[in-house]
Amino acid sequence: MQPLNPLANLLHQLLTTGEVVRSKISARANKDLVTLFDLGALREERRGGGWVVMVANQESVRRFVDRKFPSGLFGENDTSEGRRTQSLNRFGDTKSMPGLDFEFVLLRVFGDAQVTTNISNSTIKIDAPEITRQTGCVALTLQDTGDITDLPLIHGNVATVEGPELFYRFDWASVDVSVAILTDGRMSERLVNWVASSMINGHLTHFGDYDPVGLDEYRRLKEQASRASFFLPVNLESYFKENRFLKPALMDKSSALLPRLAETKDLSILTVIDLMQRYGGGVEQEVLLLDNLRLAEM
């Protein structure tokens, strides 16, 4: 077990060895220790050609540690759950430990797709299609876990969808998708690891914008799940041809991704790159909803 941070490590050395070479104390740590120097609990002493910081009053240093690190220098007394709660308990600040150890994920589930969750060591098979019918979507919690089998299990063809409009309004049955998962932009590593894992039993298709960022999200999936594909409608080029749909900014602002994408040699990626370069822009995924409208009008 390691001390919680550099200051905790420094205080641990002072309490266990009684001294620390002064040159090893950073300016930030020195600022944190000013109180101990002012109290006389720490003092500097010349040693050979340099200086060391020595503990003059160990009890004062211990009281300082108790106030600064109530859960212990190693967090050994912390029984709280959740990264931000632990951060607050250990450092008095919810932002000292970055990120969360969980995230919420929205799904739309149809047909005979199955969703099984594992909460508090209880395996629960939920009627996700019925919940989707009644409420519009299903909410799941993805938690950091060392055991992949603790993650939700899905049986069905899955689509990862960048935008909420397409997620909610697209006719997923028309493309043989029974579970749509909203990524809402860039996917977290946690989400990528889950959808690329063996806990997803079915085809995996990414629905993103037809631009470098959308392709890069697909690349991330493909690197972890070779079965992943990128959805390309047969009439995609017709949208690139229409100026009202073509967005030069979609390609310009993320053009730096193009060389790395081209190196993948993935046929879907190369197809979209070719369209972007020939027509000078990208196309948003919501054009797929226009296909839905046209089919409904027929």
pLDDT tens digit at each of 298 positions of the chain:
577 788 888 988 899 999 999 888 888 888 889 999 999 999 999 888 889 999 999 899 999 988 888 777 776 665 555 555 555 555 555 555 446 677 999 999 999 999 999 876 778 999 999 999 999 999 998 887 767 888 899 999 999 999 999 999 999 999 999 999 999 989 999 999 999 999 999 999 999 999 999 999 999 999 999 999 999 999 999 999 998 999 999 999 899 999 999 999 999 999 999 999 999 999 999 999 997 655 444 3
User: What's the rounded Cα separation, in Å, for the pair 223 and 62?
Assistant: 50
Note whether 109 and 185 are same-domain residues. yes
- Read off the tokens for 264: 């993948």
Distances (CA, A) of 255 to 110, 167, 215, 244, 286: 37, 26, 11, 21, 21
User: What's the rounded Cα separation, in Å, for the pair 284 and 210?
Assistant: 6
Note whether 112 and 197 are same-domain residues. yes
Please say which residue of 91, 123, 141 terminates a domain: 91
Q: Which helix (H) or strand (E) holds 64?
A: helix 58-68
Residue 22, domain CATH = 1.10.10
276 occurs within a structural domain = yes
Note whether 124 and 40 are same-domain residues. no
User: What's the rounded Cα separation, in Å, for the pair 165 and 252?
Assistant: 24
User: What's the rounded Cα separation, in Å, for the pair 100 and 84?
Assistant: 7
- Type of residue found at 23: S
Note whether 74 and 108 are same-domain residues. no
Note whether 286 and 243 are same-domain residues. yes
- Read off the tokens for 146: 């060392």
Residue 145's pLDDT is: 73
- Read off the tokens for 133: 């019918």
Residue 68's pLDDT is: 84
User: What's the rounded Cα separation, in Å, for the pair 261 and 213?
Assistant: 10
Please say which residue of 39, 62, 91 terminates a domain: 91
Please say which residue of 64, 91, 118 terminates a domain: 91
Note whether 119 and 164 are same-domain residues. yes
User: What's the rounded Cα separation, in Å, for the pair 138 and 135?
Assistant: 8
Residue 144's pLDDT is: 78
- Read off the tokens for 294: 């046209």
225 occurs within a structural domain = no
Note whether 106 and 179 are same-domain residues. yes
71 occurs within a structural domain = yes
**Taking every pair of C-alpha atoms in the chain, what is the biggest distance, in angstroms?**
91
Residue 298's pLDDT is: 36
Note whether 76 and 106 are same-domain residues. no
218 occurs within a structural domain = no
- Read off the tokens for 62: 């211990």
Domain span at 199: 101-207
Note whether 116 and 136 are same-domain residues. yes
Beta-carbon count within 10 A of 270 CB: 14
220 occurs within a structural domain = no
Note whether 39 and 127 are same-domain residues. no
> Where do runs of H (alpha helix) occur along 128-245?
128-135, 164-169, 189-195, 212-224, 236-241
216 occurs within a structural domain = no
174 occurs within a structural domain = yes
Number of domains in the chain: 3
Residue 113's pLDDT is: 96
The residues, any chain, with a CB within 8 Å of residue 287's CB and separated by 6 or more, are 239, 245
Note whether 183 and 108 are same-domain residues. yes
Residue 262, CA atoms < 13 Å, CB-side half-sphere:
9
Residue 89's pLDDT is: 57
217 occurs within a structural domain = no
Selection from 47, 4, 3, 54 nearest residue 33 by Cα: 54
- In 183-294 the beta strands, taken as DSSP E runs, fall at 200-201, 204-207, 229-230
Residue 2's pLDDT is: 73
Note whether 67 and 13 are same-domain residues. yes
